[in-house]
Structure 1
Amino acid sequence: MYFTQLTTKEFQEFVDHHFSHYTQSAAHYEYRAEHYQDAYLLGVKDDSENVLAACLLTKARSFKFFNYFYTHRGPVMDYNNIELVNFFFKNLTDYLKKENCLYVLADPYVLESVRNADGEILEHYHNEHFKKELEQLGYKHQGYTTGYSDMSQIRWLSVLDLKGKNGKEVLNEMDYQTRRNIKKTYEMGVEVKDLSIEETPKFYRLFHMAEEKHGFKFRDEAYFEYMQKVYGDNASLKLAYVDLDKYLTTLREKHDDLEQQIAEVNKALEESPNSKKQKNKHNQLSQQLNGNQRKIAETEEMIQTDGKELDLAAALYIHNEHEVYYLSSGSNPKYNRYMGAYRLQWEMIKFALENGIERYNFYGITGDFSEDAEDAGVQQFKKGFNAQVEEYIGDFIKPIKPFWYAVSSLLGKIRH
């Protein structure tokens, strides 16, 4: 086998057929190569020209005179093949030395454990041989971290397994309240539509509301435009909304139907005044009618104050052959009762099922499963969909120029 550069076609075919993160894509490479000239496709082939390993790397300036390289949840390979692991990373070091590399950060998409939503380990993966091999090659593991970091990819993901399931099965495996909330979004006229890249400000307005509510600052609007440009048709902005005129029409049709049912019950009561069954039915229908009339009044008032269409929640999604990723979202807390976030998730879960994608990735959580975790509410939301927690192995750093890496670390030029 030999270490080599890969064509975009070779690379994409390999990652399509081997489990890989969305960042390991030809679209990502082509955009970075065209606009920044900072991306590389490297891999290993056997003597028959079959690709055995593939990795998209990007570089950035570090410590003024050197370059820093990052593997973007790569490389993509069989990590149980220690000979291949050794061969790839040894040759990567030789390659990076020629690229004036100060250090490289690798964060393989390798599972450490699968847990239930409460953090209890269901399955542990034995990565000792792989980890030991990397450490012998000079890669220092950065620890089993929890929490969010702006310096590395999140180590804890919340994932819904869709393999071999249909929509009914997926829905039935969710908890009762989540199923009920999804059902209610249909009753309340919640719909989902695509936003174009020109409509990114509409998404960002809702995203910024989430930032203000939770007291964090993540990305600016330009970042979300960038993600759509990079990933093209594999990226989408989705908006959950209510057309209040349509909803009002539905409510009025229900009003007429309930009145007709009550009239039929009244007629039955005239014939049988002491019928307990008809009296109970009359009470139930009257309660439904009163509730529906209240909704009509509220909706008519909201049209006057807020307009005919309400933007409830929006989210950025990316998908590849293996997963749909729910990356960033926001919602208007004023309209929480419409539960737009639930409808967004369900529509995209259906998208995954319809396209034969076997994993729905709710993405990052902190890995803190205590009641006072900063993302406790988020964890409960994802738990309701029957998502499990996947813990990944984490980051490894390899100094390519050890002396200058030590100097830059002492000077605080490298954060890790």
Structure 2
Amino acid sequence: MKFCNLTIDEFESFVNDEFSHYTQSRVHYEGRKALGLDVHLVGVKEGEKVLAACLLNGAPSFKFFNYFYTHKGPVFDHHDKELTDFFYRNLTDYLKQRKGLFVLVDPYITRHLLDGDGNVTESFEMDDIIANMEHAGYVHQGYNIGYSNDSQARFLSVLDLTDKTDAQLLKEMEYKTRRNINKTIEMGVQLRDLDEEEMDKFFRLYKMAEDKHGFSLFDLATFKRMKKIYGDNARVVMAYIDLNDYLALLNEQLASKRADYEKSAAELAEKPDFRKLKNKTAELEKAAIQLEKKARDIEALKATDGDVLELASAIYVFNNHELYYLSSGSNPAYNQFMGAYHMQWEMIKFANQLGLKRYNFYGVTGDFSETSQDLGVAKFKKGFNAYIDEQIGDFIKPLNPVAYALYKKVKKK
């Protein structure tokens, strides 16, 4: 076996064949290189065959050193003790030559599969992997629950697309979710891509989510950089509704309902004691009144907010294996149009059209109690028939123990 830098083609071929995360990709590497960021492709080969691959990011840390991180990597079978020892032993030498202070890895390894309520449905052997990593000098950071600025979420909400039609996927969703999706279609909610000049539209909606949930993570420049890095493998989309189209639809429905009411009322005048007809006429009148009110409300909304309402927006990234729903936001003033439901459904269909196996709603806290901070978000994702993929978590190895101990002390202050 030989530890070496991989060519971009060697790396891409391997990660396309082996299940891997979007951050372990050619577009991620080329995007970071184009921005002048420190990025490395390393791996293990036996002859011409690649056995392991890893995209590593580097960044200055603690004045004279560099911090290294591989997001959801490296990509190889961590149950293989010999390969694990060989890769990480050589990685240590490689990073020490580059003034490494410490390295953090969080390989894309599933510990448990859970249902949407947090009940374990399948478990995978982890003890040998953790033992192999500890033998290589890596300290497991534990099975944390919740969100952290220092690590990725360990619990991923995932929809299985394998060998399923769009109709099957819709049928398997919870009734409320399926009903809301169908309502958005009936109302004429639409989805379109935003170009680079329109990223502020996405960011305005994203900021509304930040304000609602009380967090602040990324600025507009970060999202623009993300879109630039992933290029054609990223989509920034927005769900919207044209109120003129919706009003035309409502008025068409109203005209039809009025005609049905007038016909039923005329029949009732001839048969005033026909109870069933009396109930039908009353229901038709009630429905017509409701449509009239809805049309008036939409007219008023159109007068104050304009013809087109921007409902929800999100940024998505995809590779050969999954489509990932990364960051999003919606305008709570327009919740009645359920833009987030429409956006998710259209992107689920897009992922299915690409032939991907998984639609990754991304992180939830892993707290499935009724007091969870993300209870609403978790239930929203669960409604699409998503299950939970619990990851193994982070491992850290100090590369310069003395400097790293000092770094930790300074960081605590």
After TM superposition, the score normalised by the length of structure 2 is 0.97
Residue aligning to 1:237: 236
Cα offset for 1:358? Answer: 1.1
Q: Does 1:41 align with 2:22?
A: no
CA distance in 1, matches of 2:245, 2:401: 65
Q: For 2:235, what is the secondary structure of its paired residue?
A: strand
Residue 220 of structure 1 corresponds to which residue in structure 2? Answer: 219
- Once the 2 structures are TM-superposed, how far is the Cα of residue 152 of structure 1 from its aligned partner? 1.4
User: Match of 2:20?
Assistant: 20
Q: Please say if 1:144 is aligned against 2:132.
A: no
Question: How far is the alpha carbon of 1:225 from its aligned partner?
Answer: 0.5
CA distance in structure 2 between the aligned counterparts of 1:284 and 1:7, rounded to whole angstroms: 70
Q: Measure, in 2, the Cα distance between the counterparts of 1:357 and 1:288.
A: 43
Q: 2-side partners of 1:314 and 1:35: how far apart?
A: 25
Change (3 A) 1:37 1:237: closer
Q: Secondary structure at the match of 2:411?
A: coil
Aligned AA for 2:38? D
Q: Separation in 1 of the partners of 2:304 and 2:174?
A: 35
> 2:355 maps to which residue?
356
Deviations 1:328-358 (Å, cap 9, x if unpaired)? 1111111111111111111111111111111
2:318 matched to 1:319? yes
Following TM superposition, by how much is the alpha carbon of 1:285 offset from its aligned partner in structure 2, in angstroms? 1.9
Q: How does 1:52-63 map to 2 (within 5 A)?
A: 52-63=51-62
What is the number of equivalent residue pairs in this alignment?
Answer: 413
Q: CA deviation at 1:83?
A: 1.9
Which amino acid in the other structure matches residue 72 of structure 1? H
Q: Quote how far apart the aligned CAs of 1:103 are.
A: 1.0
Q: CA deviation at 1:409?
A: 1.7
Where structure 2 has 5 or more consecutive residues not aligned to the other structure, the ranges are none
Deviation of 1:82 (Å): 2.3
The aligned runs of 1:260-409 (5 Å cut-off) are 260-269=259-268, 272-409=271-408
The DSSP-based 3-state class of the residue aligned with 2:262 is helix
Aligned to 1:247: 246
Cα distance in 2 for partners of 1:188, 1:34 equals 43
Deviations 1:36-55 (A, max 9, x none): 240001111122x1111111
Alignment of 1:95-114 (within 5 A): 95-114=94-113
Q: CA deviation at 1:283?
A: 2.3
Task: Give the whole-Å Cα distance in 2 for the aligned partners of 1:288 and 1:35.
Answer: 58
Structure-2 residue corresponding to 1:2: 2
Q: Secondary structure at the match of 2:310?
A: strand
- 1:264 is displaced (CA, Å) by 3.3
What RMSD, in angstroms, separates the aligned Cα atoms of the two structures? 1.5
C-alpha separation in 2, matches of 1:136 and 1:79: 12
- For residue 22 of structure 2, what is the amino acid of its counterpart? Y
Work out whether 1:180 is the aligned partner of 2:179. yes
Q: In structure 2, what residue type is equivalent to 1:374?
A: Q
User: Unpaired runs of 5+ in structure 1?
Assistant: none
Shift of 1:287: 1.8
Q: State the SS of the aligned residue for 2:333.
A: helix
Provide the rounded CA distance (Å) in 1 between the counterparts of 2:392 and 2:321: 19
Residue 2 of structure 2 aligns with an amino acid whose one-letter code is Y
1:215: Cα distance to partner?
Answer: 1.1
TM-score, structure 1 as length reference: 0.96
Residue 87 (structure 1) aligns with: 86
Structure 2 distance, partners of 1:273, 1:9, is: 81
Q: Give the deviation of 1:164 after TM superposition.
A: 1.5
1:133 aligns with 132
Letter in 1 for 2:35: H
Q: Which amino acid letter does the alignment assign opposite residue 316 of structure 2?
A: Y
Distance 2:238 2:99 in 1: 45
Counterpart residue type for residue 333 of structure 2: K
Work out the CA distance in 1 between the residues paired with 2:315 and 2:246. 26
Q: Return the alpha-carbon distance in structure 1 between the equivalents of residues 268 and 234 of structure 2.
A: 59
- Greater CA drift, 144-153 or 403-412: 403-412
Provide the secondary structure at the position in 1 that maps to 2:223.
helix
Superposed displacement of residue 153, structure 1: 1.3
Separation in 2, partners of 1:35, 1:191? 34
Partner SS state of residue 151, structure 2: coil
Structure-1 separation of matches of 2:200 and 2:11: 34
Deviations 1:237-285 (A, max 9, x none): 1111110000001011111211222233345445655444433332222
Task: Report the residue type matching 1:74 in the other structure.
Answer: G
1:224 Cα deviation (Å)?
0.8
The SS at the match of 2:183 is: helix
Give the distance between the partners of 2:46 and 2:165, measured in 1 at CA: 39
Once residues 184 and 26 of structure 2 are traced to their aligned partners in structure 1, the CA distance between those partners, rounded to angstroms, is 37
Residues in 1 aligned to 2:352 and 2:271: alpha-carbon distance in whole angstroms: 52
Question: Deviation string for 1:338-392 (max 9, x for gaps)?
Answer: 1111111111111111111111111111111121111111111111111111111
Structure 1 distance, partners of 2:85, 2:12, is 23
Return the letter of the residue paired with 1:143.
G
Deviation sequence 1:214-234 (CA, Å, 0-9, x none): 111111111110110000011
Equivalent positions of 1:184-203 (< 5 A) are 184-203=183-202
Q: Quick one: percent identity of the two aligned structures?
A: 52
Question: CA separation in 2, counterparts of 1:168 and 1:218?
Answer: 36
- 1:142-184 deviations in whole A, cap 9, x for unaligned? 1111111111111111111111111111111111111111111
Q: Give distance in 2, aligned partners of 1:274 and 1:350.
A: 51
Q: Deviations over 1:164-221 (max 9, x none)?
A: 1111111111111111111111222211111111111111111111111111111111
Name the residue aligned to 1:65.
Answer: 64
